[in-house]
Structure formats: structure tokens, C-alpha cells
Amino acid sequence: MPFDISLLSIEMLTAALGLAVLIMGIISPQSARKGLSWVALIGLVGITGVAIASWDTHSSVYSGMYLVDNYATFWKITFLVAATLVVLGSMRYVDNMGGQTEYYSILVFATLGMMVMASAGDFITLYMGLELMTIAFFILVCFRKNDGKSVEAGIKYILLAGMSSAVMLYGLSLIYGLTGSITINEVGRIIAMNPVSPALVLGMVMLVAGLGFKISAVPFHMWSPDVYEGAPTPVTAFLAVGSKAASFAILIRIFVAALPGVWEHWAMVMAILAAVTIIVGNLVAIPQNNIKRLLAYSSIAQAGYILVGLVTATEAGIKGVMFYAFLYVFATVGAFTVATYFYNITGSDKIKDYAGLSQRSPLMAAVMLVAMLSMAGIPPLAGFVGKFYLFKTIVDNYLWLAFIGLIMSMVSVYYYLRVALVMYRDDPADPTPIKISSPVAITLVLTMVVTLVIGVYPGPLSEVVNAAAHSFFLQ
Amino acid sequence: MSFPVLPVILLAPVAAALVLVFVPKDEHKLIKCVAAIGTFVSLILSLYVYFGYDQNLGGLQYVIRHDWIQDLGVTFFLAVDGISLPMLLLTNLIGFSAVFASWNINNRPREFFILLMLLITGVMGTFVAHDLFIFLLFYEVVVIPIYIMVVIWGSSKRVTKEYAAMKLTIYLLIGSAFLLVGVIALFSKSIAVLGGPDMSFAGLAAAGSQLSDFDQKWLFALLLFGFGSLISMWPFHSWSPDGYAGAPTAVSMIHAGVLKKIGGYGLVKIAVLTLPVGAHFWAPWMAVLGIAGVAYAAFGALAQKDLKYVVGYSSVSHMGYVMIAVACLDVIGLNGAVANMFAHGVMAALFFSMIGFIYEKTHTRWIPDMGGLARQTPRLAVGFMMAAMASLGLPGLVSFVPEFTIFVSAFHNYGGLAVIGIAGIIITALYVLRAGANTLFGPPRPEYDHLEDIKGVELVPLVVLGTVLVVGGLLPSLLFDMINSGVVPLHAEISNVLQLGGNL
């Protein structure tokens, strides 16, 4: 097959954008570096446009090493939207923190890593994308280098992420040893034809462990509250959204495309993992009194919900995962943008300091509430539709999981409402209204409107995701 | 039908809420007027729909239907029939009155009325949606505004308002979690039966009645738990007295008046219609729980000294009658169930609005601290006593005929058991009259001499709801012909499935 370089245009543009930001930052004076955020923003929006334009391209590069299909493109759009929203919502925070050049260019490279993961057709490409993303996050997590907590978070993340990558790599190498191939679809064919060996099960377990770490599924979740709390808030948002979504993209690739032959061995593992993650994430979130830790535990629970879609390994399940991941971006970025901006104004992440936020800034309080309720799956917000799609796939064969998931999501309302209680009931200690800068206001309104619109009228998005999930099985 | 009247009814309060966002927060009068106008538009239009509905034609009218989510078979399906119309009208009567019952709210009124508008819209939406997915979208819209309204504007007496709000919310959400599992499972099974997704009530009913008996039974149990905890079915009722006591007047009115009725409405229009075999299986249990609720809550009300707790328990007791009536599964019983929901809604809303005014003026709801208020505030006393008389089922008021209907059907179907339920009416008379006597009559207390009677706009709830109480009592056919036109086809469908044949 002749090599069509235009298939890689999204990735190349992203790499160029990352380099351009880096170079422009170096050659421009300190005072002009604030403008880099706009360069990154406009670049990301443009690339999103290119990604949308390349919809319905189905091809592969280097005999299946790199796959271009609607599945990958949809994930790429998800990552780009997340990156765009994070940049838009955190300009002022980054200007206060300094180091714009590195921040924006590394953020763009992290996005590039996610894209490579989504398109990866073999284990090497997949691992390369994963490492590109993870290493970028090492730097971003400890970006506040004078803040002990941030550095601590960075060290924790490096050690644990490195370890989990190693475990995952070992799992991949076992599977390679058994099948003699690193191309995902080829591996799928070979495994389906041969009997299951203990080594394969071992490899599979290692993959579950390694990827379980990336999506912070219980019991591999211990790192995430500490890292989420210590990292700069916009980075936390991107870590919670982008890194998790990308890990789900490869989780589906590996388990549904490479390991469908041993589905009956991992389906129950996934179901139990999902149940435990949902229960632990929601229960441990209850006593938290720091907003970032609360959101961290709630994002663990969210990962549990998304895992539900993987259990059946069907098109409907994949659709559920992608749909949920997409709307999860808006809810999470909305909540974290409020937290970022609030920290900017008050220097606090404590929930009790959110007292009277509804009187100081009705918009911020409303966005926080809508984002949290969407995560809890309260209609008419997007999370409800997402959960409907996810649980629809398992209700016939895993009814117990549906019970656990839906009851726990009602439990989650308890701790989300505690935040609402503080924001709405109490009077503020300092009643001065919070002025919101326009980029932040745009981010907040955008996340809230999208969460509402998807919740009320999910039809169009659902059609798009159907096409994306359908293309997964065409390769 | 070119004018989309149902969407306009739904959107008028939303429009009012949007306008309110831009009204300066200190313009209290303007804020209240905007809210009043929004609910007034809905009220007038729903009256128009109620009297414009062609009962001879029956079925769904004023239909709006658009494709919504194709792969779930969801259509944006709004329509009304003889069962949903009384509930829609009731919602708007109470919503409009609730605005005036809250006329004296001066603490953050803008936020209050925005939330109230959203609340009213959510409740209305559940009664006009004929697609289960759209129904669910509206179903839980109401939970969050209520929570916020209770924690900001509620009152802490026996329990703190935070406790009341959380109890209200968690009970309803846990109930709806089970409901959701049931709905998703039902939907998933219906795809297999129909060969494609269809979320409309009619589509699910077509599929549901073909499911195996076992499936119908356990699915119905889930729906019964979900809807039952909303209608405060004993023993899942304990949120109701605490919640109403903590809530501000308008929330108590809407919650006791209509929101609870979503549970009964859902039972009739969704659970019974879709899963007739399940309904038939669980009917005796429903009847027993209903009777237990009637008796237990009536005794509970007897022991209360806080006015709101009295009405809170009494509403649990009245909903017990609705459960008994639904359990009869015949035309007369279902008629009685829907009519009783309407009657109780009007009566409970009037009760709560009057108690709200009493509390506002005397700063107490404690019955032993009151007495002789009829001298100082005669108009308030009139409203209170009207609600009280309706509560004990005085002939000539709206609730007499529905209760009578229910007793006829219950006696026919459950014989001896029904006697216990009917005996509940005696206890009801006892606690209602006692509350009235100790609050309104007897020697007037000098500390209340300065009280002003309700006047001006404060009279709106009394006039609106009082009129309905009397008119509905004198002309019960206005209500019953409408309900009957919706119940007869519904009953025909379920008895087709059950092969019971014939009516009572």
C-alpha cells in the first residue's frame, strides 16, 4: 500500500503546534509570552477542525501499524476538545504560575501522545503514545516547582506510572511471545484460533493491572487523589479527562480487538473491577473536605462507570464508553475550571471556603452544580443519558452490576449536594462579587450548555458515536 | 392543531425563569410578578386544554411528536389524555397558588422563584410526556431545586432543614435508582420483543404485556418500589412528614399536592399499563401496603402536635387510599385513584398554604400554642376549615366522590380488608377536627390580637383552590367524565391481557 502522508495530518499539525509554541516562547520576550495561550488555543481549535473534516476516513498506515478510522478520530476530537477547554479556562492561572512556553507546548505534546494511543494498531505504537503522554504529564504535574505538594505529586506519579508502564509492557511482551505478532488485529486472530494458555492469562492480568492504574480503577487508584491534589489544577483537569480517556481508548483496542478470544476470561474481571471502583470511589469521596480530592475520588467512580461499557465487548458497549467519555470531558473540565478560578481568587481548595459562592458568582456555583449532577447522572443532564447507554448493555446479563452502579450514583448525590449546600445555603465570609474574565466565562458557559444540551437532545451526538463505534469492528 | 399548546404550557415558567435571571435581585415586586405571569399563562392554557379536550374522541390529543434519539427509539412525545389532563391542571392550579403563597419571601427572592419555576416545569413535564425517556428527564429535574429550596428557605423545628432536605432527596433518589434499573431492563427486553427500540408508553406496553410472567413480576416490583417511594407508600413514607415540615410553604404545596402524584400517575400509566401480569400479581400486596399506610399514618397524625406533621401524615394516609384503588385494577378503582389524587392535591395545597400563613404570622406551628385564631384571622380560618373538611371527605367538596368511588371498588375487590381502610376515615375526622378546633376555635389568645388576616394577593391560594374544592364537589362529572375517558381504554388494554373480561 502506498504511504499516504495526509492520513497523519492531525498528528503532524499537533507536533508542529507544540514545536511552534516552544520556539515562539524562546524568541519572544517574557512579557509577550502571555500571548502563547492564544497561539495554542487557536492552533488546537484549528486542528479540531481538521480532525472533524477527516471524519469517515478509513485507512491504515504501514500495514496496520497505525489505524485511521472513525473510532480513532472520535477519540482525537475528544482529546482536542479537552485540551482546548483546559487552555481556555486556565490562562490566568498559568500566567500567575509562569513558564507559559513549556506549559503550553508540553500540554500539546501530551495531546499528541493521546492521539497516537487512539490510532495505535500495534503494541509498539501504542506504548510509544502512552509514554509520550505520561512523560509529558510527569513535567506538568510538578510544574509548580516551588510548591512541595506539587513536587511530591510529581515524584509519586513518576514512580507509580513508571511501574505500571513496566507491568503493562511485561504483559504485552508475554502476549507477543505467545502469538509472535505485535499487530493488534493479528494478535486477535491468532489468540482466537489457539487454546488459552496460563501465560496468556498472566499477560492479560498484567494488562489489566497496568491499564487499571492509568484509568485509576480500584485497587490501582491510590496515586490519583494525591496527584490530583498536588498538581496544578488545570493539569489535574487534563489528567482526569485526557489521560483517562486515552487509556480507555487503548483499553478497548487491547481487550476488544486483541483479546476477544478470551473474552469469557476477562469479562467477569472487568465487571468486578467496575463494581469495586464504583463503590470505593463513591464511598471514599464522602468524607473529603478538599474540592480537588473530592473530584479525584468522584473521577475514580466515573472510571468505574465507564468500565461497565467494556464488560460486554459489543458495539453498544463501546458506544457507551465513547459517549460517556465525551460528555465526561465537559462535566470535569467545568468543575475543575471553577476550582482553578476559585483558587486564583481565594487561594483555597477547601470546600468550606466555597460558602456563599452562589451569591458571589452565580455562574460559578451553577456550573459546579451542573457538572457534579451530570457526573451523578441526574436527568436532564448529559450524565444520565451516558449512564443509560452504559447500563443498557449489561442489564440482561449483569443485573447486579446495574443495581450497584445506579444505587451508588444516587449515593454520590449525597456528597455532591454537600458542596451545593455550602455554595447555596451559607453566606459568604467575604461577600465581594467574583469578577470572571471572559475566557473563563466562555469555558464555564460552554461546558454547562453542552452538558445540558447533550442531556436533553443527545440524538445527534449519539449518531456520531454510533458511527465511531461501528468503525471499530471494520478494521 | 397548529398552535403547539403543550410546549408553550411547559415553557412559560422556563421563560419566566430566564427573564428572572436578568431582573435585578432587589426588585422584589417585579420578580414576583414575573413568576406570577409565567404560571398564569400555563394555568390559562391548561384550562383551555382541559375544556377543549374532546372526551368523546378520547385517546391522546394535542399531540407533539418528533424523533429525538433514534438508536433508543426515543421520540419527543407530548400529549394529554383523560388521566394526564387532571394532573396537568392540578399542577398549574397549585403552581399559580404557590407563587402567591410565597409572596412574602424577601430573602433572596430571585433565586427562590427561579427554582420554583423549574420545579413546576419538571412536574408538568412528567404529566404530558408520553415517552418513558422524556418522562424520566422531567422526573428528576425536580429533586435538586427542592433540595436547594429546603436548605435555604426551609425551617428547622423537630428536625433540621438540612436533615429534612437530605432525607427527601436520598429517599427519592434511591427509589428512582431501582426504578431506573427496572426501566432499563424493561427497555432492553422490549427491544427483543418488538425487534427495535421504542420508548413510547404505547410501544413499551405492547412489548411489556408479551414478556414472561416472571419478568413482568420482578420488573413490576422494581417500578412499584420506585413509584411507591415517591407516593409515600408505607413503609417507605417516612421522608414525607419530615420533608414537608422542613420545606418552605410553596415546596410543601407542590410536593404534597402534585409531585407525590407522579408516583401514582406512573403506577397507573406506566407500571400497570406495561406490566399487567405483574400488576395483577402484586395487587394484593399493594392493597395491604395501602391499607397499612392508611391506618398507620392516620394514627401517626393523631399523635402530632405540629400542624405540618399532621398534614404530612394525613397525606401519607390519603395516598394509602390511592394505592388501594390502584390495586383494585378495575375501572371504578382506577377512576377513584386518579380522582383522589386530584382531590387530595387541591386539598393538601390549600392546607399547606394556610399553615404557611399561620406560621408566617404567629411564628409557630405548635398546636398547643394556638387557639381561637378564627376570631383574629377569619379568612385564614375559612381556608383552613375548607381544607380540613375536604380532608375528612365532607360531601359537597371535591374529595367526597373520589373516596366513595374507592370504597365501592375496594369493598368489591377486597371485602373485609377494605373495612380497615374505610375505618381510617373516622380517625381522619378525629385528627383533622382536633387540629382545627385547637388552632382556630376556643378562647382567642391575647398575644395574637395584633395579627392581620390574609388580604390582597395572599387571598389568591384560598380563592383559586377553594373554588376548585367547591366546584369539583358540586359538579364531580367535570372531573370524572374526563378521567373515565382515559381510564376505560387503559383498563380495556390490561384486561385484554389478563383475560379477566368485563368491568365491575
SS3 call for B106: coil
CB atoms closer than 10 angstroms to residue A260: 15
In single-letter form, the type of residue at position B503 comes to N
Contact residues, A window 399-438, toward B, CB-based 8 Å cutoff = 399, 402-403, 406-407, 409-410, 413-414, 417, 420-421, 424-425
Phi-psi region of A378 (alpha: psi -120 to 50; beta: other; left: phi over 0): beta
Residues A377, A331: Cα–Cα separation, whole Å: 11
Contact A361, B154 (CB under 8 A): no
Contact A215, A247 (CB under 8 A): yes
pLDDT tens, position by position, B456-468? 888 999 999 999 9
pLDDT tens, position by position, B247-279? 999 999 999 989 999 999 999 999 999 999 999
pLDDT value at position A138?
92
Phi, psi for B180 (deg, rounded to 5): -65, -45
pLDDT tens, position by position, B121-159? 999 999 999 999 999 999 888 888 899 999 989 888 778
Q: What percent of chain A has pLDDT over 90?
A: 68
A466 reaches B (C-beta below 8 A): yes
In single-letter form, the type of residue at position A19 comes to L
The answer to whether A388 contacts B70, with C-beta atoms less than 8 Å apart, is no
Give yes or no for residue B503 having a pLDDT over 60.
no
Taking the C-alpha atoms of A53, A314, A301 and A400 in order, what is their torsion angle to the nearest 10 degrees? 160
Residues A35, A40: Cα–Cα separation, whole Å: 9
Phi, psi for B503 (deg, rounded to 5): -95, -165
In chain B, the residue whose alpha carbon lies closest to the alpha carbon of A370 is B144
User: Which of A402, A414, A455 lies closest to B184 in CB terms?
Assistant: A402
pLDDT value at position A194?
85
DSSP secondary structure letters along B20-41: HHTS-TT-HHHHHHHHHHHHHH
Give yes or no for residue A459 having a pLDDT over 60.
yes
Mean pLDDT for the stretch of residues B393-410? 90
Distances (CA, A) of B114 to A308, A366, B22, B149, B494: 37, 13, 11, 10, 41
Helix (H) or strand (E) run with residue A67 in it: strand A66-68
Phi, psi for A68 (deg, rounded to 5): -115, 105
In single-letter form, the type of residue at position B41 comes to V
Q: Could you tell me which residues are beta bridge partners of residue B65?
A: B77
Contact B296, B234 (CB under 8 A): yes
Grid coordinates in use for A268?
467477569
Mean pLDDT for the stretch of residues B93-109? 91
Q: Extract the runs of DSSP E, i.e. beta strands, from B11-137.
A: 61-69, 74-80
pLDDT value at position A336?
94
Residues B494, B69: Cα–Cα separation, whole Å: 28
SS3 track for A359-377: HHCHHHHHHHHHHHHHHHC
Mean pLDDT of the residues in chain B: 89
Contact A357, A368 (CB under 8 A): yes
pLDDT value at position B351?
92
Contact B232, B319 (CB under 8 A): yes
Q: What percent of chain B has pLDDT over 70?
A: 99
pLDDT tens, position by position, B303-323? 888 889 999 999 999 999 999
pLDDT value at position B290?
92
pLDDT value at position A283?
94
Mean pLDDT for the stretch of residues B152-179? 88
The answer to whether A462 contacts B71, with C-beta atoms less than 8 Å apart, is yes
- Burial-class residue B459 by CB neighbours within 10 Å (0-12, 13-18, 19+): middle
| Residue A1 pLDDT class (50, 70, 90 cuts) | low
Name every residue in B having a CB less than 8 A away from some CB of A: 67-72, 74, 108, 111, 133, 136-141, 143-144, 147-148, 151-152, 162, 166, 169-170, 173-174, 176-178, 180-181, 184-185, 187-189
Mean pLDDT for the stretch of residues A93-121? 92
The answer to whether B70 contacts A391, with C-beta atoms less than 8 Å apart, is no
* Reduced DSSP (H G I as helix, E B as strand, rest coil) percent helix, strand, coil of chain A, to 5: 80, 0, 20
**Cβ–Cβ pairs < 8 A, chains A and B:** 93
A138 or A6: which leads in pLDDT: A138
- Burial-class residue B369 by CB neighbours within 10 Å (0-12, 13-18, 19+): middle
Please name the residues in contact with B255: beta carbons below 8 A apart, sequence gap of 6 or more.
Answer: B146, B168, B243, B244, B247
Q: From B344, B284, B281, select the one nearest B314 (Cα to Cα).
A: B344
Out of A382-386, A387-391, B492-496, least confident range: B492-496
Grid coordinates in use for B249?
410553604
The answer to whether B189 contacts A396, with C-beta atoms less than 8 Å apart, is yes
- Burial-class residue B394 by CB neighbours within 10 Å (0-12, 13-18, 19+): middle
Mean pLDDT of the residues in chain A: 91
Distances (CA, A) of B323 to A285, B304, B316, B318: 38, 24, 10, 9
- Kindly report the length of chain A: 475
Residues B371, B439: Cα–Cα separation, whole Å: 4
User: Which of A380, A402, A466 lies closest to B141 in CB terms?
Assistant: A380
- Burial-class residue A180 by CB neighbours within 10 Å (0-12, 13-18, 19+): exposed
The answer to whether B143 contacts A395, with C-beta atoms less than 8 Å apart, is no
The answer to whether A378 contacts B180, with C-beta atoms less than 8 Å apart, is no
CA A465, distance to chain mean position in Å, is 17
CB atoms closer than 10 angstroms to residue A294: 27
In chain A, the residue whose alpha carbon lies closest to the alpha carbon of B74 is A459
Strands B74-80 and A59-61: unpaired
Q: What percent of chain A has pLDDT over 70?
A: 99
Grid coordinates in use for B439?
388552632
Q: Could you tell me which residues are beta bridge partners of residue A66?
A: A61, A120
**A155: closest CA of chain B, how far (Å):** 40
pLDDT value at position A59?
86
Residues B44, B88: Cα–Cα separation, whole Å: 12
Q: Which of A318, A359, A375, A413 to mutate to test the interface with B (most CBs of B within 10 A)?
A: A413
> Long-range contacts of range B4-7, CB-CB < 8 Å, 24 or more positions apart?
B4/B64, B5/B45, B5/B48, B5/B49, B5/B62, B6/B49, B6/B62, B6/B64, B6/B78, B6/B79, B6/B80, B6/B128, B7/B64, B7/B78
* Reduced DSSP (H G I as helix, E B as strand, rest coil) percent helix, strand, coil of chain B, to 5: 75, 5, 20
Distances (CA, A) of B225 to A66, A378, B122, B201, B208: 51, 19, 21, 19, 18
Residue B200 per-residue DSSP state? B
Cis peptide before A232 (omega within 30 of 0): no
ipTM of the complex: 0.89
Within A120-256, residue ranges assigned H as helices are: 123-141, 148-179, 184-193, 198-214, 223-230, 233-238, 244-252
In chain A, the residue whose alpha carbon lies closest to the alpha carbon of B222 is A403
pLDDT tens, position by position, A262-301? 888 888 889 999 999 999 999 999 999 999 999 999 999 9
Q: Which of A416, A417, A457, A462 to mutate to test the interface with B (most CBs of B within 10 A)?
A: A417
Give yes or no for residue B70 having a pLDDT over 90.
no
Residues A307, A317: Cα–Cα separation, whole Å: 9
Grid coordinates in use for B347?
386539598
SS3 call for B219: helix
Helix (H) or strand (E) run with residue A68 in it: strand A66-68
Contact residues, A window 254-293, toward B, CB-based 8 Å cutoff = none
Contact B422, B410 (CB under 8 A): yes
Helix (H) or strand (E) run with residue A334 in it: helix A315-346
| Residue A158 pLDDT class (50, 70, 90 cuts) | very high
pLDDT tens, position by position, B381-397? 999 999 999 998 888 89
Could you give the count of Cα atoms lying within 13 Å of A196 in the half-sphere of its Cβ? 13
Helix (H) or strand (E) run with residue B192 in it: helix B161-194
Q: What percent of chain B has pLDDT over 90?
A: 50
Question: Where do we find the cell 483499553?
Answer: A251
Question: Is the CA virtual torsion A269, A320, A224, A156 positive or negative?
Answer: positive
In chain B, the residue whose alpha carbon lies closest to the alpha carbon of A454 is B69
Distances (CA, A) of B340 to A360, B322, B348: 45, 7, 12
Helix (H) or strand (E) run with residue B305 in it: none
End-to-end CA gap in chain A: 15
